Amino acid sequence: MGTSLHVASWIIAFVLLFAIIFLYNKNNDRVANIIHMILRLFYIFILITGIQLLWPYFQGGTMLLTAITKGFVGIWLIGAMEMVSVRFSKNEDTRGAWIQVAISFVITLILGYGILPM
């Protein structure tokens, strides 16, 4: 249950991020701001479900350092997504933030699905 809720939260967060970008492109700032607040709520869901998934590693599971690393990279990904949305709202350059999103997303997937057993 925990993993599926965590993955669903991430998928919804990415959908909301792209919706925000679309709305800012259409100059619909008010709705984009509302969706941005909803996205921030999903960040909280992601953090809570991520901590729930990380907890068994602290209870004597193997690969604790890898799990902690994945947690930090996941937080980096959330921060990069927030940078994209905020910079996009201010019409600032988002290339660096998008690069961070891509790198942290790939690392998170590799650690979460390729290395960690749970």
Within its chain, how far is the Cα of 35 from the centroid?
15
pLDDT digit string, tens, across residues 5-59 = 999 999 999 999 999 999 999 999 999 999 999 999 999 999 999 999 998 888 8
Distance (Å, rounded) from C-alpha 114 to C-alpha 77? 18
Distance (Å, rounded) from C-alpha 75 to C-alpha 86? 16
Distance (Å, rounded) from C-alpha 12 to C-alpha 4? 12
User: What percent of the chain is modeled with pLDDT above 70?
Assistant: 98
pLDDT digit string, tens, across residues 53-85 = 998 888 887 889 999 999 999 999 999 999 999
Indicate the pTM of the whole model: 0.92
* Res 118: pLDDT: 65
- In sequence order, what E strands does the chain have? none
